[in-house]
Chains A and B, each alone.
Chain A
Amino acid sequence: MTDLNKDTFCLGGHEFQSRFILGSGKYSLELIKAAVENAGAQIITLALRRANQGGLANILDYIPEGVTLLPNTSGARNAEEAVRIARLAREICQSDFIKIEVIHDSKYLLPDNYETVKATEILAKEGFVVMPYMYPDLNAARDLANAGAACIMPLGSPIGSNKGICTKEFIQILIDEIDLPIIVDAGIGRPSQACEAMEMGAAAVMANTAIATAGDIPAMAGAFRKAIEAGRTAYLSGMGRVIEKGSSASSPLTGFLQEQEASGNE
């Protein structure tokens, strides 16, 4: 029997049991704590640009203690800006974790893989635990791995679209080919899609909009937790095969070999 308690994954030398990474934007601040608790999340992302110091409604005041804060570089339009934001984040959040987001497309918010690789290379050398958000391209993923990324975070579909894993086949290639944890980020709109990512062999799932815009936020966070655990358990259990069309004969093409043996030599 698979024991999920012993099933951890590793990011930059840190072990995590929960495979659910929660975003913190788009919420009413007072609901963040309940969402984290119900999600059982151990990592929560935070846009450094939201982490205002002082002023009204400081998001940092609402993130529960004991959770690993994962600042992201949103707002960066190129590698240089991402590096500057990451260094600031290290000072403010007192953490080496950094999620790289380099975006210069205001419509779909699609990440720029080329600039992301450049930023990853610089920050990994500076000792950051670099978690790059990327478009699922195998070559870019290999470059990120070589540049020192701690994991790869391919998008399922555009941020906030809740469209699910539109890039499924390509994420599967990353899971099969890259020896780093693959964390599916962006686009996951419902628990079944989170479950699907985990069944595929993703190491973890990140979600924000799907939970932040739910009618009952804590309940939806709990639903995602269960779906992720179910998907992970299914993956570890070894998935059964899928019959594509109708039933299948056991050996439709090679069955004749047995017939020949049974009938003896002609």
Chain B
Amino acid sequence: MSKNNHINESILSDEIREHQKKNRIDHMTYLPGMEVIESDVMDQVLAAMNAYDYEKYTDSDVRRALAKDNRGPEEFAALLSPAALPHLEEMAQLAQKETRKHFGNSVYMFTPIYIANYCENYCIYCGFNCHNKIRRAKLNYEEIDKEMKSISESGLQEILILTGESRAKSDVKYIGEACKIARKYFKVIGLEVYPMNSDEYRYLHECGADYVTVFQETYNPDKYETLHLAGHKRIFPYRVNTQERALMGGMRGVAFAALLGLDDFRKDAFATGMHAWLLQRKYPHAEISFSCPRLRPIINNDRINPMDVHETQLLQVVTAYRLFMPYAGITISTRECARVRDNIVNIAATKISAGVSTGIGSHVEEVEDKGDEQFEISDSRTVDEVYRDLTRLHLQPVMSDYIYV
């Protein structure tokens, strides 16, 4: 099916939409070139998620989960349930204690760099999707060098390289060259690019990258199918198994996230935690981390949706992740405002971005700002400002706690 068959579905009649649906490729079948790995992790995650009935947990289940020393999936399930909401203050206090035990008061700082925004996927909620008429751009190597040099002058030593998901426009070699340039200026290099095969991860690891972030968006395959209409991203199992392929390719760490609010956020958060937990058991050396992006509830929405992820629910998810996996990193998004970020970093998050722009070529003036942004950020603080605010919270900003070996 060619890309040109896709149009904005919201303007279509039900009948045509039905017709379109029938013509979509099967989201559970791998496409040619996609590596299939021997793994039952996805099946285990989906089975656990499907069996998760958060309504059945009671106040005493939550109390037991809180009192427990080493928490497992059952305690995690209780802490994510509605019954845990009245215990949120206690959860936050315990989460803070666990964070301090494992990380002290260190908070890692980094910034993302968007080097291209071409995308072949059609994800109906995303600003980069292939049907959105935005300015597309891709930095050349010289421009990447200028941007990275400029970022490194802020004192940061960790960078997260992002592209839109276009294998054609931003191929593996291009991303590898970007990693090599990054090594000149940074100690820690992470990637948030399209999922790829384990041999490609091995190549990018050799180019200097050691961390891979992939957002699953939602772990519900039926919902996933309705949101990701075309492109490689449509293939659900290939995306779920990305972290495992990255680890097989020698990456040191992998990050997990559901975009909370796309579907039932409790189930998605539970699946995200289970996914991370199962992979940590299978690959005990892997460094695990979570991101916690959410779709913001619509202000003045007269229908109160119990599935909306307000700040309270976001905090519940973050603290549940921390209490379930006290050793995991947690990154707090610039989609959140400074107030929420500072509070969450004081409780459970261990990594925060600063000086963020999600556009292409926006860090230096010499590089023409030529690509539109993926999303609007809600925290525009500079590196110095975030540094100062962390210090005020008696937290210690850390630029790098890593050595490439």
Interface of B: prevailing SS: loop
B401 near A105 with CB under 8 A, answer no
A27 near B104 with CB under 8 A, answer yes
Q: A25 with B155: in contact, given A55-B399, A161-B101 (CB under 8 Å)?
A: no
Nearest-CB distance from A233 to chain B (Å)?
Answer: 30
A212 near B403 with CB under 8 A, answer no
Against B, the Cβ 8 Å flags (1 = close, 0 = not) of A8-30 are: 00000000000000000111110
B306 lies within 8 A of chain A by Cβ:
no
Contact partners of A56 in chain B: CB under 8 A: 155-156, 383, 387, 397, 399
CA distance A109 to B387 in the complex (A): 29
Contact partners of A208 in chain B: CB under 8 A: 104
A213 near B396 with CB under 8 A, answer no
Q: A48 with B280: in contact, given A160-B101, A209-B101 (CB under 8 Å)?
A: no
Against A, the Cβ 8 Å flags (1 = close, 0 = not) of B99-137 are: 011111110000000000000000000000000000000
Task: Mark out the residues of chain A between 131 and 163 whose CB falls within 8 Å of any chain B CB in the assembled complex.
Answer: 160-162
A57 lies within 8 A of chain B by Cβ:
yes
A212 near B105 with CB under 8 A, answer yes
Contact partners of A105 in chain B: CB under 8 A: 284-285
Nearest-CB distance from A113 to chain B (Å)?
Answer: 15
A106 near B401 with CB under 8 A, answer no
Contact partners of B288 in chain A: CB under 8 A: 106
CA distance A107 to B403 in the complex (A): 19
B105 near A26 with CB under 8 A, answer yes
Contact partners of B63 in chain A: CB under 8 A: none
Contact partners of B156 in chain A: CB under 8 A: 55-56
Q: Which bracket fits the contact residues of A?
A: 20 to 34
A50 lies within 8 A of chain B by Cβ:
yes
Contact partners of A28 in chain B: CB under 8 A: 105, 391, 394-396
Total interface residues on B, CB under 8 Å, equals 33
B187 lies within 8 A of chain A by Cβ:
yes
Nearest-CB distance from A52 to chain B (Å)?
Answer: 5
Closest B residue to A89 using CB positions: B403
Task: Mark out the residues of chain A between 21 and 64 whose CB falls within 8 Å of any chain B CB in the assembled complex.
Answer: 25-29, 47-50, 52, 55-57
Contact partners of B102 in chain A: CB under 8 A: 160
Q: A213 with B101: in contact, given A27-B396, A105-B284, A107-B284 (CB under 8 Å)?
A: yes
Task: Mark out the residues of chain B between 249 and 305 whose CB falls within 8 Å of any chain A CB in the assembled complex.
Answer: 280, 284-288
A55 near B400 with CB under 8 A, answer yes
A27 near B403 with CB under 8 A, answer no
B399 near A107 with CB under 8 A, answer no
A75 near B402 with CB under 8 A, answer yes
A52 near B101 with CB under 8 A, answer no
Select B396's contact among A57, A103, A106, beta carbons within 8 Å. Answer: A57
The 4 A-B residue pairs whose C-beta atoms are closest, nearest first, are: A26-B104, A104-B285, A56-B155, A49-B403
The residues of B with any CB-CB pair to A shorter than 8 Å are 100-106, 155-157, 187, 280, 284-288, 325, 327, 383, 387, 391, 394-403, 405
Q: Mind listing 27 A-B residue pairs with CB under 8 Å?
A: A26-B105, A28-B395, A50-B398, A52-B157, A52-B187, A52-B400, A55-B155, A55-B157, A55-B400, A56-B387, A56-B397, A57-B396, A57-B399, A75-B402, A75-B403, A75-B405, A76-B405, A81-B405, A85-B405, A105-B285, A106-B280, A106-B284, A106-B286, A109-B327, A160-B101, A160-B102, A161-B101
- Not counting A26-B106, A106-B327, A160-B102, a sample of 9 additional A-B residue pairs whose C-beta atoms are within 8 angstroms of each other reads A26-B100, A28-B395, A48-B403, A49-B403, A56-B387, A77-B285, A106-B284, A106-B285, A212-B105
